[in-house]
Amino acid sequence: MSEVGPSHRVRPVVPADLDAIAAAEPELFGSQAWSRGVYAEEIERPDRCYLAVDVDGRLAGYAGVALDPEWTVMTIGVLPWAQRRGIARALLHALVDAARRAGGTELFLEVKAHDGGAQQLYRDAGFRLVGLRRRYYQPEGVDAVVMRLDLGGPTRRVGPVGAEAVAADPAGQREAARRREAAMDPFVDVAAAHDLIWSADPPVVLDVRWALGAPDGRAAYAAGHLPGAVFVDLETQLAAPAAPELGRHPLPEAAHLQASARAWGIDTGSTVLVYDDAGGTSAARAWWLLRWAGLDRVAIIDGGLRAWVDAGHHLEQGMIRPRPGNVVLRPGGLPTIDIDEAAAWTADGTGVLLDARAGERYRGEVEPVDPRAGHVPGATSAPTVQNLTEAGWLRERAELLDRFARLGVTPAAADAPRVAAYCGSGVTAAHTVAVLASLGIEAALFPGSWSQWSNDPARPVATGP
């Protein structure tokens, strides 16, 4: 018996609990509900451990674990009136402790493949994805993911957070240095992303669904996202508040971005995958900001959500709120130019300034959001969408090299031009920067982009092809 809160108590399940458990089962588990008779047999088995949590003397939740030889979490149920009070977490920790005391070295469980909230509970306790069982839950035919916990040691280091954690952990510094040396390519295909997500050291996955006409992708995210993916709000987490003199998506303050990154669960040394449902053109903003802030293990999933679904992989539902991370961000890792540098970038013939907006916006034929139509004088039209196939996948390397060569941009050489890119507000131009990085070409980002330039009446505007 143990205390888990001022009015919480964990204890063994006893026969007197069975009526309340049997009444709660259908509401909690539907067709997978167990009967009172099954529980009556289960709690008498020597190879089982069933625990309950009381709140103020009232049954709030119950859970069970199969011991040797199965080592499997059987169930965790929290009565509706007691939900969102940490009951499930307390029960899970108690089950893990029971398995350890019984001599277990590993613990398994199955959970519905679409149930992101439940899976996050288990991830926070140290469980990792190890398999997928198709149509495991009957009669619905719902897939299940299998998760495993190594009982041999602590599930996650608990200690100082931030710079003090790095100073206190030389081994962590060495690991971070090793990861920096093995910096990721800006893009990974869906097969590599799948292998990473199901690995023993899974990445932090960020869902950045945003579009010019649909800036809030929260509802789409909740309806289905990659396993463990955290929703990222581009408007509030990947940008500072809009201002005419700065643009529609100014770079966020370093402290604000670090707080967001920690809220997403990013630790020092984490691998981060980002994706969207727009060919990576909004996810690239997260890629750019994290690379700019000093993280090297960051990549965009080529094809994003569509590629994941087309490959037959499952989606989770609901909002994920991971355990906070401890990453320390240090901005300045990627080059930027300001509005004055953008004005002078092509003047001496040594620089190429790429305009990543649609061609009609560059030419000044339309301007849906900013005060003036046209482009920065001297800029070259290079629409971001032309980095992609019609299906939304990144074009082949040879095609991309040819495309940028025709725009006057070639891989590093003694006489290679300086390259910078801008778009409407510094979002989709980040995709062009990422594509160029994948080709071995460094490009600076003009964060204020056209939204800053067009709001300054002193800046000249060019139109036409």
Question: Of 129, 423, 433, 441, which residue is the catalytic one?
Answer: 423
Instruction: Give the whole-angstrom CA distance, residue 275 versus residue 43.
Output: 45
Instruction: Give the whole-angstrom CA distance, residue 181 versus residue 167.
Output: 20
Q: What is the DSSP string of 23-35?
A: HHHHHHHGGGPPP
Q: In what order do the strands lie in the sheet with 351-355?
A: 380-381, 351-355, 418-422, 444-445
Q: What is the DSSP letter of 384?
A: G
- Beta strand pairing call for 142-150 and 187-188: unpaired
Q: What is the DSSP string of 202-242?
A: PPEEEE---BTTB---HHHHHH-BSTT-EE--HHHHSSPPP
Helix, strand, or coil here: 42? Answer: helix
Among residues 427, 430, 447, 432, which one has the least CA distance to residue 291? 430
Among residues 355, 291, 365, 302, which one has the least CA distance to residue 329? 291
Helix, strand, or coil here: 80? Answer: helix
Residues 6+ apart with CB under 8 A from 214: none
Q: What is the DSSP letter of 160?
A: -
Whether 423 sits among the annotated catalytic residues: the reply is yes
Residues 6+ apart with CB under 8 A from 346: 352, 353, 378, 379
What positions carry a catalytic annotation? 423
